[in-house]
Structure 1
Amino acid sequence: MNRIQLRPESKGLGMTSQRARDRMVERLREQGIRDERVLNVMRALPRHVFIDEGLASRAYEDTALPIGNAQTISQPWVVARMTEAMIETGMPARVLEIGTGSGYQTAVLAALGLQVFTVERIEELLRSARPRFRSLKLHEQIRSKHDDGNLGWPENGPFDAILLTCAAPALVTPLLAQLGEPGVLVSPVGTDAGKQKLLRVIKADGAISEQDLGPVSFVPLLPGVL
C-alpha cells in the first residue's frame, strides 16, 4: 500500500483534522463498511484538499458536496462502499475509473496501491485534480485523460476492474468490452437520481453476473467533452 505523506496544509485543523477523519471512519464502520484496507486509506487521506476551501469544514460529513461544473464529490460512505465492493473478490492491479471529478475516489484507489487510469470529460476538473495527486505523492500510480468516459481507455485495456463515479442509463457496452476476465465493474445505473442502483458486475468463466448493491444517487454519465 502506498504510504500517504501529508504536507502541513493537508493535515488540517479543527474540522479538517485527523480527529475529524477518525470520526468519519468510525461512522463508516457503524454504517457497515468492514474492509480495514479501505477504512485505513480513508483515515489517512485528507478529503478536505479535494473540495473548495469554503466547504472544508464540511469535508468529513457524510454528504456529497459541490465541486463546480454541476458536479459533486461523493459522500464518504459511497466512496467506501464502491471501493469495498470492487476489491471484495480480490485486489485488482489495474483499474479504469470513469469520472475523475475532484480526484478523491481516484486517490483512494491509488492509495490502496492500485494503478489507476482515470478519464474525465470536464477539463477544468482534471486540471484541478492533477496537482492534488502530486501533492499526495500518488501521481506515479495515476494516469489521467481528458476524454468522453463512455469510450473508456481501450488502448490501455483490458482492466482488472472498472469503476464509474457517474450513472449511465444502462451498463456501457464499450466499458464491459474493456473489462478483463476475471474482472469486476462497479457502476451506478439509472436515469433518475432517485431511482438509481449500484451494480457490481463480475466477468468470469465466460459469463457475466450482476449484483444489485442498493440505491444510490449520482450525476449522469454524459457524452462528449467540455
Structure 2
Amino acid sequence: MTRASLDKQPHEVASMFDDVAEKYDLTNDVLSLGQDRRWRKEVAKAVDARPAQKILDLAAGTATSSQPFAQAGAYVVPCDFSLGMLRVGKRNHPHMPFTAGDATKLPFKDDTFDAVTISFGLRNVQQTDQALRELYRVTKPGGRVVICEFSHPTWAPFRTVYTEYLMRALPPVARAVSSNPDAYVYLAESIRDWPDQPALAAKLQKAGWGKVAWRNLSGGIVTLHRGFKAS
C-alpha cells in the first residue's frame, strides 16, 4: 500500500488511487456522511450539460461524477491518471470513453469542450496553475469550467471542529472501510493545506478564466468555483 506526500509526485498519487479504486465510492460516501451525493448534484446543476455538448470530467475516477452529464444527453469524457480507477470505471460503465490523462498535459486539442469540470481532484495535482491553464486551453470560446473542491468552512468555530474531524476521526473511519486507510491521511492533510475560496478564485483568473465566482456548500466544507472562457 502507498500514501502520497504533500509534494504530490504524480506517480505516488496515481499509485495511491490505484490502491483505493475498488472501494473508493463507498468510502467517500461513508466519510462524507452521505453529503458527497448532494455535492455531486450541485456540480451537475452548475455544469448544466445539454444534449450534444462535449463535457470533460477530469479526475473522474470511476465516472460516478460523469453519469449525470451522460444522462442529460451530453457526450462526456471521463479522464483520470489512475489506471486502477479507470479499470473499475470501465468495468462498471463499458460504454463510456474513459481516457487516461495528466491534468497538466491533457491529451485533447484546443477548443474541444463546451464545459470542463473536476470534482475533488484539483488539490491532488502537483502543478495546479498549469492544470487550470490546460482546462482553459481545451475549452471552447464561451465555454465554462466548474470546480468542486474541499475548502475552508466560513464559521471559525465550525472550522476548528471540522479540522479536528479530518485529522483525528477520518483516519480511524477509513481504516474500517478502505483498502488503504493511509491514503486518507494524505487526503485529510491535502484538504487542510488547500487554498481558501478567494485564493483559488485568483488562480482561476490568473489562468485566463473570466466571470469567476464561487458558492459554498455545507458551510464551506466544499466550494463550487465557476468561470468562463471569453467568446
Under TM normalisation by the shorter chain, which class is it? 0.5 to 0.7
In structure 1, distance between residues paired with 2:141 and 2:133: 15
When residues 55 and 211 of structure 1 are mapped into structure 2, their CA distance, relative to the original with a 3 A threshold, is: closer
Contact 2:62 2:90 in 1 (8 A): no
Report whether the alignment pairs 1:150 with 2:104: yes
Task: Say whether 1:183 aligns with 2:143.
Answer: yes
CA contact (8 A) 2:56 2:77 kept: yes
TM-score w.r.t. length of structure 1: 0.52
Q: Deviations over 1:142-178 (max 9, x none)?
A: 3111121222332384200000121244561111111
**Structure 1 residue 82 and structure 2 residue 43: aligned?**
yes
Contact 2:54/2:74 (<8 A) preserved = yes
Distance in 2 separating the partners of 1:150 and 1:208:
20
Tell me the distance in 1 between the aligned counterparts of 2:222 and 2:82: 20
For CA contacts below 8 A with separation 6 or more, give which structure has more relative contact order: 2
Assess if the C-alpha contact under 8 Å between 2:110 and 2:137 holds in 1: no
Structure 2: gaps (5+ residues): 1-20, 152-188, 224-231
What is residue 162 of structure 2 aligned with on the other side?
A: none
Say whether the 8 Å CA contact 2:22–2:88 is kept in structure 1.
no
The partner residue of 1:167 within 117, 122, 129 is 122
Given that residues 112 and 139 in structure 2 are in contact (C-alpha distance below 8 angstroms), is that contact kept between their aligned partners in structure 1?
Answer: yes
Q: CA deviation at 1:131?
A: 1.5
**Root-mean-square deviation (Å):** 4.1
Shift of 1:84: 0.6
Q: Does 1:127 align with 2:87?
A: yes
Correspondence 1:1-226 to 2 at 5 A = 52=23, 55=26, 63=32, 75-87=36-48, 93-134=53-94, 139=95, 142-155=96-109, 157-165=111-119, 166-168=121-123, 169-170=128-129, 172-188=132-148, 193-194=191-192, 195-197=195-197, 208-214=210-216, 215-217=220-222
1:196 positional shift? 4.5
Residue 112 of structure 1 deviates from its aligned partner by 1.6
| Structure 1 Cα separation of the partners of residues 147 and 75 of structure 2 | 19
Residue 128 to residue 196, structure 1, CA distance change in 2 (3 Å): farther
SS of equivalent to 1:173: helix
Q: Classify the secondary structure of the residue corresponding to 2:61.
A: coil
CA, structure 1 residues 196+112, in 2 after alignment: closer, same or farther (shift >3 Å)? Answer: farther
Q: Work out the number of aligned pairs and report it.
A: 149
**Distance apart, 1:180 and its partner CA:** 0.8
Q: Distance in 2 between matches of 1:173 and 1:54?
A: 28
2:97 is aligned with what amino acid?
R
Distance 2:108 2:25 in 1: 38
TM-score (norm 2): 0.51
1:177 aligns to what SS in structure 2?
helix
User: Do the aligned residues in 1 keep the contact of 2:51 with 2:73 (CA within 8 Å)?
Assistant: no
Question: Would you tell me which structure has more strand in proportion to its own residues?
Answer: 1
Distance 1:207 1:110 in 2: 25
